[in-house]
Amino acid sequence: MSPSQIPERIHRGGHEIVVTWDDDHVGEYAARDLRLACQCAGCREEMTGRPLLDPAAVPHDVEAVSIQLVGSYAIRIAWSDGHSTGIYTYDQLAALCPCAACRAARAEH
């Protein structure tokens, strides 16, 4: 999957977020993994990128309460733990795709 693809469909499914990309590639992202990947200033130090979010503070059963489009390049997720300030660009979602093919491609690089 190339990182400049556009999602055709994004939906919540229990403790996951499912993204169907424009080439019919499907990524099923564990909600907690995406929550921990938040890049907002409250979760990641802006200058160094050092994580500020303590993983122990994120419940294992965290869920996406809502998903909103941000322009034509990202989504904003409101989480059941009250967090809602981060955005996830399509490029970031593509880079984080947890499917076996994408994991294998990342391992090769």
At 13, is the pLDDT very low, low, confident or very high (cuts 50, 70, 90)?
A: confident
2: in domain: no
pLDDT tens digits, 17-43:
999 999 989 999 999 999 999 999 999
pLDDT tens digits, 64-108:
999 999 999 999 999 999 999 999 999 999 999 999 999 999 898
Tell whether pTM > 0.95: no
User: How far is the CA of 60 from the CAs of 24, 31, 106, in angstroms?
Assistant: 29, 9, 26
* CATH number, domain with residue 57: 3.30.2020.30
Domain with 45 in it:
7-108
15: in domain: yes
Our count of domains for the chain comes to 1
Res. 45: pLDDT tops 80: yes
96: in domain: yes
Give 97: exposed, middle or buried? Use CB within 10 Å, 0-12, 13-18, 19+: buried
76: in domain: yes
